[in-house]
Structure 1
Amino acid sequence: MSIVTSADNGFGAFVARAHRAGKLVVQPRMGISAPEQMRAGLRATCDADGATVGTLTVDSYTRVGDLEAAQLAVLDGVALNGYPIVSHQHSTTAEVLDSIAGPEFPVQVRHGSANPRDIFRAMTAVGLDASEGGPASYCLPYGRVPLSESTRHWIRSCDELVELRATGLEPHLESFGGCMLGQLCPPSELVAISALEAMFFHYHGFRSISASYAQQTNPIQDAEAVRALQRLCADHLPETDWHIVIYAYMGVYPSTRSGAYALLGTAARLAASTGCARLIVKTEAESVRIPTVAENVAALEYAAAVADATPRSVAEPGDSQTYREAAALVAAVMNLDADPGMAMLRAFERGYLDIPYCLHPDNRSLSRSYIDDRGYLCWADIGRLPLSGMVDSSGPRTLSSSGLIESLTYVSRKFDQELGPVDTTPMPAVRGG
């Protein structure tokens, strides 16, 4: 059995309906390999209080294309860190989804692959039409695949997936660009890459798209970044159903329960107050292990409750510093080629895009960042980024090893030691599997 979706009831349409109803859609990451446990996780997510969507997170072997290892693990019953959707029989995955996934509970496949072609084929074979990633965001942080190779793979994969539109379905892709390395990249470049990858999807025919932004080190700066991303998407995604998805902090997570929930609550308020449509949650277990289904459900329900209690803002995006930097980056990149994929490739070659502290060979690694006294992520060195005259890069040019560790743990220390439980919304009881 497979799921039947259409332009009116696919992933993007569900999120749009929830958003119009004033609900923030909350979503787990949930990497589970055993089919029966994956089904239980989807069921628990579906039954959770709040507007939820499901996730099939693909295992690491499948992400890197080692399908032989994934297949052997399936045959031997070895637990993996995600669902090996390519290696399981289509009938097995259909049984996982049966009577759970559908128009009122869409499921997205999340993967981390520089070559998602096999993953896209496996998901569409069982009726799933939503995934995520991008030629840069699923290449630079995760391995040594050349960016040119990743770009070619993503072009072919997108061209195949978008053919679903001819059948009446509406495939959805989400850029992971707002999460590059998860930490220590100033928001303007996260916003620019997220917008550029969304433009890449649009260029290749997608009309249901989401752009991501990962919560960083200061909520005021984060809100500014979200407004900038919304403005860029409005300007560059014509005739497109698009929305913004926020990720709870992607770096070192607080180790205390109160700190973890306080940080998640901050992410939920960021998403709700800025009018974003979806939030990827993190749990109290993030600092030590893969969370259980019950911990995921508790985090979903807490985030939904915080969002419901958060007033929505009607503030206009405006020409903030983050917007000016992000818009300058997007303009400079798109001057290199009409195809956003080729433009990004050339931009990384020239250093017009350059991720601080990213060790991938195709990243110039000339830019540097630091956290200032306000908790803002700032440029210490712009390298060859086309931001000359726009940025005060008078901060520390280099970080010592201890300084880097201090920066990487800034958020976890802040929420564990300084803030504690900053939200009074009752934490939901842990329940389910």
Structure 2
Amino acid sequence: MTGQYLESADQYPVDFGEFVRRAGGSGRLVVQPRMGFGDSVKMREGLLATKAANATTVGTITLDSYTRLGELGAVEAALRAGSDLNGYPLVSHPMATTGRLLSGVRDSGFPVQVRHGSATPIDIFRALVRLRLNATEGGPVSYCLPYGRTPLAEAVRNWKACCELFVRLRDMGAEPHLETFGGCMMGQLCPPGQLVAISVLEALFFAQHGIRSLSLSYAQQTSTEQDREAVAALRRLSAELLPTDNWHVVIYAYMGVYPQSFRGAHRLLEQAAELAVTTRSERLIVKTVSEARRIPTVAENVLALEYAGRTATRTHHEPGPDLLHDSRTYVEARALAEAVLDLDDDVGQALTAAFRRGYLDIPYCLHPDNAGATRSYIDSEGRLQWADTGALPLGAAVEKGGARSVTSAGLLADLFYMRGKYDEPSNDVNELVVGAD
């Protein structure tokens, strides 16, 4: 990139993590969309609309699926043909194009994060460094196992190289920020103890390779009570194990099969915002009322951001779960994290060994490096439970009721549990007053 961009845009991007923590310390929940468009003009319009929303926001540039998979030839062909892409082709667009997109948009009051989903992201990180885009997310496990067949050991090497490249931003006056996607494994049906453990382990991996500004994710699941317990466990385990104080927690609105009704979708988003506030989480990734049907528009993203922001403002900051309480989720997450860390001083090698031994094992994940011996189910109270723990090193850490068979019908019912719960007959689309509380 040349000086033309650097003179016209923010030369010293704000530390994304510090910005979010400062907002959270002021009692404001930071809300963020997943927005991504192939056309740079539309992408800029989306960022400007996010910035202008009546909420405390940060921007998102979500990359297209070809770029995520490293199929840059397909990106070039789509751009030549004028075809729509399902995200922004950061690597393939001329840097001057992205410079114009960011100019006057990114500033000290509106940082921008890049989201991508790649197990082989070196080209993406090279573009990030050239453009001084200093916030992104992912991880060697969470961006590998759910998304393809890249060997886990290769993903670990890739992410190590990316971290080492990303920290060079400090020489350019920008603090790199990484968010672990580990608390969102498969989006649903992974019991919270393992989500918490993987989120913390990926953060430790980032820290071991020089990243000092971190965020840890947790995806809303099927029980509000269990979710609050899980976020408390995540905060406690992070405070105990991370070597930096520059970290925060980001909640993802439910990532599984989403309600189809407007009222049902808004109620689920409302509960995600309430979860974030009551657990002192600093940031929320929203979903929109159109998630069950299609890619949301800019206007629908803004509506979701403002709705979540209003919900956060009116939610009482009641005392959250006791961070010192040895909840079942905390005990389970601690047991998993300790067992993995005992395997090797190198966190990446420890993660690889853990999956090889089945110490980490994601239910219903078909990746070749996942043992596939664990199963989960939703109990009568809506909580995610282990049906079979496989080789997970839980020992006496959790109460065991014996293995339980999971039928295909039961699995299907669990996958659609939240849609069925929130799409009640009264949730008619015509009952929703758009933009109202």
In 1, the alpha carbon distance for the partners of 2:69 and 2:219 equals 23
Match of 2:339 among 332, 336, 343: 332
Match of 1:379 among 378, 382, 386: 386
Partner of 1:405: 412
Where structure 2 has 5 or more consecutive residues not aligned to the other structure, the ranges are none
Q: Does 1:100 align with 2:105?
A: yes
Q: Is the 8 A contact 2:387 2:406 kept in 1?
A: no
Q: Is the 8 A contact 2:132 2:169 kept in 1?
A: no
Partner of 2:183: 178
Match of 1:82 among 67, 71, 87: 87
Partner of 1:16: 21
Match of 1:234 among 236, 239, 243: 239
Give the alignment's Cα RMSD to 1 decimal: 1.8
Q: In percent, how many aligned pairs have the same letter?
A: 56
Q: Residue 37 of structure 2 aligns to a residue in which SS?
A: coil
Q: CA deviation at 1:394?
A: 2.9
Partner of 1:341: 348
Q: Is the 8 A contact 1:107 1:128 kept in 2?
A: yes
Q: CA deviation at 1:229?
A: 0.4
TM-score (norm 2): 0.94
Q: Does 1:4 align with 2:10?
A: yes
Match of 1:189 among 186, 194, 197: 194
In 1, the alpha carbon distance for the partners of 2:20 and 2:164 equals 24
Residues 116 and 411 of structure 1: is their aligned pair in 2 closer, same or farther, counting only changes over 3 Å?
A: same
Q: Does 1:350 align with 2:357?
A: yes
Q: Partner letter of residue 97 of structure 1?
A: L
Partner of 1:295: 300
In 2, the alpha carbon distance for the partners of 1:374 and 1:389 equals 23
Q: CA deviation at 1:313?
A: 3.5
Q: How does 1:244-255 map to 2 (within 5 A)?
A: 244-255=249-260
In 1, the alpha carbon distance for the partners of 2:39 and 2:404 equals 47
Partner of 2:319: 314
Partner of 1:305: 310
Partner of 1:366: 373
Q: CA deviation at 1:426?
A: 7.3
Q: Residue 218 of structure 2 aligns to a residue in which SS?
A: strand
Q: Does 1:55 align with 2:55?
A: no
In 1, the alpha carbon distance for the partners of 2:195 and 2:426 equals 26
In 1, the alpha carbon distance for the partners of 2:90 and 2:306 equals 27
Match of 2:151 among 130, 146, 154: 146
Q: Is the 8 A contact 2:20 2:282 kept in 1?
A: yes
- 1:213-268 deviation per Cα after TM superposition (whole angstroms, max 9, x unaligned): 00000000000000000011111112330000000000000000000000000000
Where structure 1 has 5 or more consecutive residues not aligned to the other structure, the ranges are none
Partner of 2:275: 270
Q: Partner letter of residue 414 of structure 1?
A: K
Q: Is the 8 A contact 1:305 1:425 kept in 2?
A: no
Q: How does 1:149-160 map to 2 (within 5 A)?
A: 149-160=154-165
Q: Is the 8 A contact 2:262 2:427 kept in 1?
A: no
Deviates more, 1:244-253 or 1:381-390: 381-390
Q: Residue 215 of structure 2 aligns to a residue in which SS?
A: strand
Q: CA deviation at 1:166?
A: 3.0
Residues 382 and 372 of structure 1: is their aligned pair in 2 closer, same or farther, counting only changes over 3 Å?
A: same
In 2, the alpha carbon distance for the partners of 1:62 and 1:337 equals 33
Q: Does 1:30 align with 2:30?
A: no
Match of 1:64 among 58, 69, 77: 69
In 1, the alpha carbon distance for the partners of 2:71 and 2:415 equals 31
Residues 408 and 278 of structure 1: is their aligned pair in 2 closer, same or farther, counting only changes over 3 Å?
A: same
Q: Is the 8 A contact 2:229 2:327 kept in 1?
A: yes
TM-score (norm 1): 0.95
Q: Is the 8 A contact 2:59 2:111 kept in 1?
A: yes
Deviates more, 1:394-403 or 1:370-379: 394-403
Q: CA deviation at 1:420?
A: 4.8
